[in-house]
Amino acid sequence: MGPVAAPGRARPRPAAGHRRGGHRIHGPDRDREHAPGRSLLGAATLAIAVVALTILLGVTYGFRGRVVGSLLGDAIVLQARAVDYVAIGLMFALAALAVADVLYLGVRERDGELAALKASGWPLTALARLIVTEGVGVGVLGAVVGAGVGLAVTLAVTGTAGAAVAVGALVAGAVAVLLAALASVAPAILVQRLPPARVLARE
For residues 197 and 185, give the distance between their C-alpha atoms in angstroms, rounded to a whole number: 24
Give the pLDDT of residue 62: 66
Cβ proximity of 167 and 135 under 8 Å: no
Give the pLDDT of residue 176: 95
Higher-confidence residue of 85 and 5: namely: 85
What does the pLDDT look like over 153-190, one tens digit per residue? 888 777 776 788 888 899 999 999 999 999 999 988 88
- For residue 111, the tally of other CB atoms under 10 A from its CB is 22
What does the pLDDT look like over 36-56, one tens digit per residue? 778 888 899 999 999 999 888
pTM assigned to the model: 0.72
* Maximum C-alpha span of the chain: 94
What does the DSSP 8-state code read for residue 20? E
Higher-confidence residue of 113 and 72: namely: 113
